[in-house]
Chain A
Amino acid sequence: MIARVVLALLIPASLAFFVISLLWRSPKTALGIFCIKIFLAAGLGCGIFSCTFLIWLSVFGASTKAFWLTQAIICIVLALVWWRTRGQAPPPPPAEVAASPNPQLRFGWALDLVFFIALISAISAFIFLTLKSPHGNWDAWAVHNMKARLIFRAGDAWQTTFSSLPAWASLDYPLLVSFTIAGGWTLVGNDTLIIPGVVAFLFTFGTVGLLVSSLSISRSKAQGLLAGLVLLGSPLFIAQGSNQYLDIPIGYFFLASLSLFSLLDHLPDNQWGLLVLAGMSTGFSAWTKNEGFLFILAVVVARFFMITAKQGLKTYLKQMRPFAIGLGPVVLVIIYFKARFGAANLFLSGDGASILEKLLDGGRYVTVLSELKTQLTGMGGWTIAPIIVLLLYLLLLGPGKEWKNPNAIAALMTLFLMLLGYFFIFIITPFDLKWHLATTLDRLLMQLWPSFIFVFFLSVRTPEYMKHYRDHLVEQTTGTTYIDL
């Protein structure tokens, strides 16, 4: 069975890796980019796989052997195309760019060691918690794992069974994770608890890997490791990951989109491919949870303002074309799913008068703001507020030049718009406000936490810069000039 589990994960991830590699050409020697592609393949693989599995089930029914055979053939074809076109990859960056000041830190090894210990501790904690509660926590088993069982166990009758689910089953919830798990089970041949656990693991540690590798390329290795430490050091992140909550996968897709946008500045030859992948990732966030629709809107609006203001409307429209090519197919799958099964959204189905009444109720704003303040200061389940630690880091190192970069500002604006959106969702919630805040706010904020850490470390100077700057001060007499990292 282990071999089948490995195959069930390897085929979708490999397929995604070759799609990513064909869209994003990079030099053979670029190890950092290779790492990002691997971490992207983990999540985007689940996204592509879940969409194709839904289409396959809808068109061909539960002929699972044929499905897996087709997946394997597509994967082999993509691998061959990638292998034959490897020569078309752009050359490595010119020597002067490659040799940009990125000095070795004296205690860099200590940072590597601390990160390694934190990673092993987090993995151990994750495995321990998963073994303790292999079905995940309430929302996992009651909603998306239950739906995965329903899709897998009902066989050809899955559509009829799915349609007959009553309203409590939240039929309008997107199903990226449910279809990924159900698809994995079809290859394994039974609904083993290993698959949902491994999917949760991929998204949790895929987020960490993506954060570290993308910052290592955009900024520096130390900056990437420090950001990874902040995320690994957030107990709530690991706990929610092992609880199999969807807030971790959606947070992964938010981070993937924002980091791909930020790479546009560092990899100018790969603009088209990076934007297609950013579009795919943004779409998959909406295929994971309904909050992803807000993210699509936030990305489009934030980039419209920032890119148009800094680089002009023409650049914005030029960038939105490949973004839409990546986003479009995923949105079509979601539209098909919603049209076929989707019930009315709970938040949007309330009557206008009731929503207006809530919007005009000042007390609701006070309640939401007060809870938001409490949650933000204790973000991630830290003993001390991580915001204070991050502020200290900012004071020590200062803001970097990326702070003025339109992609970094657009990312920050996207996160702000998301927070604003969540705020108003609570204001108009049809549920009891205090209960709703108590049960969901920490998870909603955890969706944004990895992206916030990314934007923060993207915008702050790096330890390598500080070392270079200090060395420069020492060597001032030689007339060396420093470059702002």
Chain B
Amino acid sequence: MGHDDVTLFERRLDPVKPRLSDSRMIHFASGQSNEGRRNFFLTQYVLAPIVLIESQGPQTVIYVVPNYKTEVDGPNDVGYTTYEHGDGTKILDFHNGIKIAYLPENGLQ
């Protein structure tokens, strides 16, 4: 039953749900395209009762790994590795607990 885009989207988010079960509110980077906005509504529908806070894009996200043990004498600049995903997301991993993500214009897919 149901091969519509809502059912398929819900199936995609099934493995994500248990990892978010403790969250009450999460941010969603929707981008500026219609597709990104539609994905925002779809994600809200699928993840309810978690409330999604929409953020406009394109945007850059900085991610700081909590409790990261910095080596006092170690080099603090070892360069970075770039990962590019098929959906256009680019992640720069600085190998020191800091990552920067450049989200695609139409949001995370």
Contacts and interface: CB of A to CB of B under 8 A. Distances in A.
Genuine A/B complex? yes
Interface of A: 131-135, 138, 141-142, 145-147, 149-150, 153-154, 157-158, 161, 164-166, 168, 193
Contact of B7 (A135, A138, A164): A135
17 contacts: A131-B2, A134-B4, A141-B6, A141-B41, A141-B45, A142-B41, A142-B42, A142-B45, A146-B45, A153-B49, A161-B24, A161-B49, A161-B51, A164-B24, A164-B25, A166-B51, A166-B53
B51 A165 contact: yes
A161 B48 CA distance: 9
B48 A149 contact: yes
Contacts, number: 57
A154 B47 CA distance: 11
Contacts of B10: 135
Contacts of B85: none
Interface in B36-53: 41-42, 44-45, 48-49, 51, 53
A134 B7 contact: yes
Given A142-B41, A149-B49, 11 more contacts: A132-B3, A134-B7, A135-B4, A135-B6, A142-B44, A149-B48, A153-B49, A164-B25, A164-B51, A165-B51, A193-B2
Contacts of A150: 48-49
B2 A132 contact: yes
A142 B42 CA distance: 7
B16 interface: no
Contacts of B24: 157, 161, 164
Interface of B: 1-4, 6-7, 10, 24-25, 41-42, 44-45, 48-49, 51, 53-54
A165 B24 CA distance: 11
A292 B88 CA distance: 46
Contacts of B48: 146-147, 149-150, 153
Contacts of A134: 1-2, 4, 7
A244 to B, nearest CB: 11
B7 to A, nearest CB: 7
B45 to A, nearest CB: 4
Nearest to B3: A132
Contacts of A133: 2, 4, 6
Nearest to B2: A134
Nearest to A133: B4
Given A131-B2, A134-B4, A158 B49 contact: yes
B41 to A, nearest CB: 4
B19 to A, nearest CB: 16
A113 B10 CA distance: 42
Nearest to A191: B48
Contacts of A141: 6, 41-42, 45
Contacts of B54: 166, 168
A138 B24 CA distance: 24
A193 B1 contact: yes
A337 to B, nearest CB: 18
A166 B49 CA distance: 13
Contacts of B7: 134-135
A146 B3 contact: no
B53 A149 contact: no
A132 B4 contact: yes
Nearest to A163: B51
A113 B101 CA distance: 65
Contacts of B6: 133, 135, 141
B49 to A, nearest CB: 4
A154 B54 CA distance: 20
A323 B24 CA distance: 43
A308 B49 CA distance: 50
Contacts of A131: 1-2
A158 B24 CA distance: 11
A393 to B, nearest CB: 38
Minimum-distance CB pairs A-B, first 10: A154-B49, A149-B48, A135-B6, A142-B41, A134-B2, A133-B4, A150-B48, A153-B49, A146-B45, A150-B49
Contact of A135 (B45, B51, B53): B45
Contacts of A193: 1-2
Contacts of B53: 166
A302 B1 CA distance: 46
A193 B10 CA distance: 13
Nearest to B40: A168
Contacts of B2: 131-135, 193
A153 B20 CA distance: 14
Most chain B Cβ neighbours within 10 Å, of A141, A154, A164: A141
B55 to A, nearest CB: 11
A149 B45 contact: yes
A153 to B, nearest CB: 4
A146 B53 CA distance: 15
A142 B10 CA distance: 13
A153 B24 CA distance: 12
A133 B6 CA distance: 8
A132 B44 CA distance: 21
A153 B23 CA distance: 13
B31 to A, nearest CB: 15
A202 B1 CA distance: 20
Which of B7, B42, B45 is most buried by chain A, counting CB atoms within 10 A of its CB? B45
Contacts of B49: 149-150, 153-154, 157-158, 161
Contacts of B3: 132
A124 to B, nearest CB: 16
